[in-house]
Structure 1
Amino acid sequence: MTDDLLSRRRLLRAGAAVAAALPLGMPALHAAERVVRLSYQRSSTLLTILKTKGTLDERLKPLGFAPSWHLFTSVIEPMNAGAVDLHADVADAVPIFTQAADAPLTFYAREVGAPSAEAIIVPADSPIRTIADLKGRTVGVSRGSGCHFILAAALKNAGLGFSDIKPAYLQAPEGLAAFGQGSLDAWVIWDPFLAIAQSKRPVRVLADATGLSSYHRYYLANDSFVAENPKVVATVYDALVEAGRWVKAEPEAAAALLAPIWGDLSPDVVATVNRRRTYAVTPVLRAELGEQQDIADTFLEAKLIPRKLDATSVRIWQPSVERAG
């Protein structure tokens, strides 16, 4: 028997062994797929759209990946722990806390700011008329959120600090319930919870983020995942850009898709959210991170982070580095 024939027989036996090891009906490509773990929040409009439409299932399959979705109400802990690969879009303040914790995270996209999409609200009949009137009052806020910074900055401008109020640290769903029950004198919150609160009862906006923060939202990923899988990151980035354009181009369709997912809301409430948000996904540029430094300095002064940070000294992935395909 020739060496060539022996080699061919060995290859055939090896192939048969591999096939036997696969479950019946499972194609070889599927067996080789890796899972991409993605987190999202209720405010993660574009990721919610991609999940609902199955866009990433389709786009990632040729790269040998499949998405796995994880819903969080509090994102800082899973971000610090590296619990997923690509993290939910977060308000500008959140990366300050993750940077302070030395979390291994890379910025890979930014949603252009929408300062009217987060605000400090009170009941319409409240005697509270100014930020200064919050002194001694119970104010609900989600710890580590962009609204945490809005409250800190607004209080500072009014000559107050957190010691002058009674902060109630509540996740957004808990805050919505507490505000509706009258347990809070004021609530600092972002969309879609802001729009939901406005739809449930008459409220008055004491201040939105205008003049305090642009309310950019950032998309971050684990350092090691970005380094090892740049084409996956590029694929997700491109899909986010397209989803953002779709929301603005098809507002009625977007509202109809999101309304049941956000808790059987009226499409009008969803439309309000979508009007206030830009959904314009762009690359992260270091030269445009100056506002992040303002947030870090405010948090340090308020003793919310333990040390001074250079908020512009972060790892950034650029979409031009590696395109999908």
Structure 2
Amino acid sequence: MNPSSPFLARRRFLSLAAAVVAGGTSLLLLVNALPGAHAASDGTLAGPVRIGFQKAGTVLLSLKAKGTLEKQLQPKGATLQWAEFPAGLPMVEALNAGAIDIAYVGEAPPVIAQAANGSITRYVAYDPWGPDSEGIVVQKDSGIRKLADLRGKRIAVQKGSNSHYLLVKALASAKLKPADAEIVFLKPADARAAFERKDLDAWSIWDPFLAAAEALPNARLLTSAKGLAPNRGYYLASAPFIKNRPDALKAVLASIKKEALAVEANPAATAAFLAPSLGLDVKVLKLAEERRRHDALPLTDKIIERQQDVADTFSELRLIPRSIKVRDAVWIWK
């Protein structure tokens, strides 16, 4: 990796920022610029805050493990409730059903959620992950050397995930349709077991499961998402929560952004901290964190346009029941 790359330059900046934060005073300059840094004047902080998370959500995992949100919000009357999900699709289903207030998912789940009748899912921020943190692995001893070789092959993917979108785009780049391969919808744990048994030819998956898959003796990375899919994360909230609890939402987003700074600045420490709770090797998690970016940013026109491509792609494949306009579900930071 080029030590002068923009990504490493950013990491060095974040390391410096984290050191400054450890010193104390300058943190206020960072936090005061965040949405909700001065929130809570109208009392909408009080009450339950129900957050959905998954193993791919490093920042939320870190906040939960440290009890950061509890320490910040409970004195102001908020109670934190955490719900773990195996993937993004069941999480947005829970969000649309009003079972949780805030969720963290990849590119595809919010598209599926928005297409549902009576959807209350709204985008509130995006996380710039990056294309190196998802990919397609194949059996090491297979003859699959290029994407076109996936024709007729048995490929696992979590339905309605970032990696589902990646798989569709990867096949399309080789002039293949989803019907040209045998796509099997499996959760990450089930897909890994099937891959290890060699019941699968390929597996489209995201970090940290991708990093864990790459460590398997029988696995080989066929491609990352680079040039195929942007691979971003999205923080979502329900429309009623945004309307009725704006201070709580802004306070959570401010904490997420602050934690993202610390997480990205020190991937080794983050990996060591999370390994016991995730049940994954520290080296695997360190690899996953080194190639991911973390933040909580407002959606720009460019981000919305790229997300619209996900929606249009899923509509063309009839993976969603109707066409949608992503912009209609974007919350504007105020």
TM superposition shift of 1:287: 4.7
Give the match for residue 111 of structure 1: 127
Q: Is residue 97 of structure 2 the alignment partner of residue 94 of structure 1? A: no
Q: Is residue 285 of structure 2 the alignment partner of residue 270 of structure 1? A: yes
Give the match for residue 34 of structure 1: 47
Asked if the contact 2:116–2:321 (Cα under 8 Å) also holds between the matched residues in 1, the reply is: no
Q: Tell me the alpha carbon deviations over residues 200-225 of structure 1, each in whole angstroms, 9 at most, x when there is no partner.
A: 22422222111121111000011101
TM superposition shift of 1:190: 0.2
Q: Which deviates further from its counterpart, 222-231 or 286-295?
A: 286-295
TM-score, normalising length from structure 2?
Answer: 0.82
Q: Is residue 256 of structure 2 the alignment partner of residue 240 of structure 1? A: yes
Distance 1:93 1:75, change over 3 A: closer
TM superposition shift of 1:285: 2.7
Asked if the contact 2:137–2:213 (Cα under 8 Å) also holds between the matched residues in 1, the reply is: no
Give the Cα–Cα distance (whole angstroms) in 2 for the partners of residues 98 and 286 of structure 1.
Answer: 20
Give the match for residue 198 of structure 2: 182
TM superposition shift of 1:286: 4.1
Give the Cα–Cα distance (whole angstroms) in 2 for the partners of residues 219 and 67 of structure 1.
Answer: 17
User: Which secondary structure state, in structure 2, belongs to the residue aligned with residue 255 of structure 1?
Assistant: helix
Q: How does 1:1-325 map to 2 (within 5 A)?
A: 34-76=47-89, 77-87=93-103, 89-102=104-117, 103-263=119-279, 265-318=280-333, 321=334
Give the Cα–Cα distance (whole angstroms) in 2 for the partners of residues 150 and 122 of structure 1.
Answer: 15
Asked if the contact 2:138–2:201 (Cα under 8 Å) also holds between the matched residues in 1, the reply is: yes
Give the Cα–Cα distance (whole angstroms) in 2 for the partners of residues 132 and 80 of structure 1.
Answer: 38
Write the letter of the residue equivalent to 2:241.
F
Percent identity among equivalent residues? 37
Gaps of 5+ in 1: 1-31
Give the Cα–Cα distance (whole angstroms) in 2 for the partners of residues 252 and 277 of structure 1.
Answer: 13
Larger Rg: 1
User: Which secondary structure state, in structure 2, belongs to the residue aligned with residue 294 of structure 1?
Assistant: helix
Give the match for residue 35 of structure 2: none
User: Which secondary structure state, in structure 1, belongs to the residue aligned with residue 184 of structure 2?
Assistant: strand
Give the Cα–Cα distance (whole angstroms) in 2 for the partners of residues 41 and 154 of structure 1.
Answer: 25
Give the Cα–Cα distance (whole angstroms) in 1 for the partners of residues 138 and 302 of structure 2.
Answer: 36
Give the Cα–Cα distance (whole angstroms) in 2 for the partners of residues 69 and 317 of structure 1.
Answer: 25
Q: Tell me the alpha carbon deviations over residues 159-207 of structure 1, each in whole angstroms, 9 at most, x when there is no partner.
A: 2111111111001111111111111100000001001111222422222
TM superposition shift of 1:247: 1.3
Aligned length: 286
User: Which secondary structure state, in structure 1, belongs to the residue aligned with residue 102 of structure 2?
Assistant: coil
TM-score, normalising length from structure 1?
Answer: 0.84
User: Which secondary structure state, in structure 2, belongs to the residue aligned with residue 119 of structure 1?
Assistant: strand
TM superposition shift of 1:57: 0.3
User: Which secondary structure state, in structure 2, belongs to the residue aligned with residue 271 of structure 1?
Assistant: helix
Q: Which runs of 4+ in 1 moved over 6 A?
A: none
RMSD: 1.6
Write the letter of the residue equivalent to 1:43.
A
